[in-house]
Chain A
Amino acid sequence: MLVGSLASCGSALPAYKTAVADNKVSVPETLFAASDFQLIQPKGMYYNIGLKKEKDGTYTALLLRCTHADNQLTPTGNGFKCTLHGSAFDNEGHVTQGPAERPLKKYPTQVESNQIIIHIS
């Protein structure tokens, strides 16, 4: 939802660049002080990760790779869009427009010492 409000007022979507270590990405929780959504750009990866803070305090990490033909997705403010064949996904990763039929891949997350750990599996 916040992604929508950020985009709708023309603000920049936050993006955080970090490294991958032991198939894990570590993101400081402090990044979510002013926003419930963060775009994560793991170094060397060719897809972004959309990291969203849920109302219960947990985090959802979505791989922004179209499940139709593996194209990168663009955050639109109310979801994610693939410009290759037009597939669209909502903020939860569900398909809202084909040709994609499967939801976005979710990575498991956990919080350790104020760091959100995304397990790249």
Chain B
Amino acid sequence: MQAKIFTLSLAFLFITGALSAQTKSLVTAEDSLNSGLSKSATTIGGYGNAFYQRNNFQGTSKLNLERLVLFTGHKFNDKISVFSELEVEDAKVTGGESGGEIAIEQAYLKFNLNPNQYIVAGLFLPRIGILNEDHLPNTFNGNERNYVETFVLPSTWREIGIGLYGNINGAPLNYSVGLVNGLSSGMFTHGTGIRDGRFEGRNASSNSLAVTASLQYYMGDFKAQVSGYYGGTANVSKRKADSLGLSSGIFGTPVAIGEGDIQYSHGGFSMRALGTIVSIPDAAAINRAYANNTPKTEYGAYLELAYNLLYKAGTRNDKQFVVFVRDEKFDINASIPSNGITDETLNQNHIVAGFTYLPIRNVAVKADVRLIHTGVQNPELIINPNPVALPYQQNNNLVNLGVAFSF
């Protein structure tokens, strides 16, 4: 408890210190010299995507406006800004019906400390993986986001807290550190890893906290990143945690995540590769408490190669026709505790291939095929078999055609 109070006090001092510094610097001579730069401004932007999907095994097809996100930002001055994103998934949300989602994806204040450093406070997306920060649908290939950064790294993953972002003066090195609310192991569900344990800003319990950090290094056409996350998931009072057999405290019943990725782009060629591992050492205790078949380890990795057929050296061409292929491998059930049940259907390999046509950079027309292969189904997990269900198939494929934009 004392540790938690200390941590929160530190965070409070961190923010108030930054605010104090802002206030003091408002009256410096340089501010008046910067008057031409320090205009307040409101920015409106957004992104969205819709696509057709044919599931060849199920024999079903669907058309869905998957996301429409409206972004609003306001710069009060060069030092303080506010950013927000309001997201609607699957076009509509109707009372009493499942499906669809309205969510605040981001809402935070940003305090610029200097040209190289800033602090964010509020609901923000920690720098973990590639997609969590860079998820505009016209900037990635394929109609669907890659599954590794959807199910192993639960992008887009936002939580409430504070973060410090910066780059080393004079070096191509970026860093970030963050302190956010932790996950809830009580909300973990079988088959989705840690994804359902996110609070995403809604009445987040802060009995558990998490720290995140990242380093990015630019090497000409290469960009490399490592990031990590460590946080508690008990997220209940000590008395309740004790009764559930969970370790309590800020980092009690922890989840640890490590991630590394590289991106390369030269001429018309581009490549991105990512690997990540999630460790839940107290998975057995979580399963005893909640019976949600939490795994001890998850992992995922992918490699994507792409080439812009319209690239011409030495010319600037806004139009792009990118052909790509991506291999995604992940296992949300890589190792399980003794009281868990193996589910090999969560051990999956996907090959995604297709093209992305961008008549202008902000608009994309996409087509791709996703070939899916999974492990075998475990009969122990079929409690109430549906008599009309098709037998489980380890192979399936999805055909996706869609459009996307951002502005």
Bound pair (A, B): yes
| Interface of A toward B, CB cutoff 8 Å | 4-5, 7-8, 10, 12-15, 19-21, 23, 39, 41-48, 64, 68-70, 72, 74-78, 81, 83-86, 94-99, 101, 120-121
Say whether B139 contacts A97, CB under 8 Å. Answer: yes
What is the size, in residues, of chain B's interface with A at 8 Å between Cβ atoms? 49
Q: Min CB distance, A40 to chain B, in Å?
A: 10
Contact of B172 among A21, A43, A76, A85 (CB under 8 A): A76
B379 proximal to A (CB < 8 A) = no
Chain A residue nearest to B138 (CB atoms) is A98
Q: How far is the CB of A85 from chain B (nearest CB, A)?
A: 7
Is A98 touching B172 in the complex (CB atoms < 8 A)?
no
Please, how many angstroms separate the alpha-carbon atoms of A45 and B77 in the complex?
Answer: 11
Q: In chain A, what residue has the closest Cβ to B79? A: A46
Contact of A7 with B169 in the complex, beta carbons under 8 Å: no
Structural contact, B221 and A8, CB atoms closer than 8 A? yes
Within the complex, which residue of A44, A76, A99 is in contact with B362, where a contact is CB–CB below 8 Å? A99
Within 8 Å by CB of A41, from B45, B78, B115, B218, lies B115
The interface residues of chain B lying within 8 Å CB-to-CB of A45 are: 30, 34, 37, 78, 115
Query: Which residues in B have their C-beta under 8 angstroms from that of A69?
Result: 43, 45, 71, 73, 81, 83
Given contacts A14-B170, A75-B172, A77-B218, contact A101 B407 (CB under 8 A): yes
B220 contacts which of A4, A85, A95 (Cβ < 8 Å)?
A: A4
Q: How far is the CB of B160 from chain A (nearest CB, A)?
A: 18
Partner of A48, one of B25, B75, B115, B219: B115
Kindly report which residue of chain B lies nearest to residue A72, judged by CB atoms: B115
Q: Which residues of B contact A12 (CB under 8 A)?
A: 170-171
Judged by a CB distance under 8 angstroms, whether B116 is at the interface is: yes
**Does B185 touch A at the CB level, under 8 Å?**
no
B36 touches A23 (CB 8 A): yes
- Complex Cα gap A45–B115 (Å): 7
Distance between B313 CB and nearest chain A CB, rounded to angstroms: 14
* Contact A5-B220, Cβ < 8 Å, known A69-B83, A74-B174, A97-B139: yes
Bound state CA distance, A85 and B84, in angstroms?
Answer: 12
B136 near A20: Cβ-Cβ < 8 Å? no
Interface string of B17-36 (1 = CB under 8 A from A): 00000000100111101101
Q: Which residue of B lies closest to A21 (CB)?
A: B33
Asked if B89 is at the interface (CB within 8 A of a chain A CB), the reply is: no
- A-side contacts of B36, CB under 8 Å: 23, 120-121
Given A44-B29, A44-B34, A46-B78, residue A98 in contact with residue B362 (CB < 8 A): yes
Nearest-CB distance from A32 to chain B (Å)? 16
Q: Does B269 contact A (CB under 8 A)?
A: no
Q: Which 6 A-B pairs have CB atoms at the shortest separation, nearest pair first?
A: A44-B30, A8-B220, A86-B134, A46-B78, A15-B170, A12-B170
Indicate whether B54 reaches chain A with its CB closer than 8 angstroms: no
**In the complex the two chains form, is A70's CB within 8 Å of B362's CB?**
no
Let me know if A98 and B78 touch, CB within 8 A. no
A7 with B81, Cβ < 8 A, contacts A45-B37, A86-B133, A99-B136 known = no
Q: Which residues of A contact B47 (CB under 8 A)?
A: 99
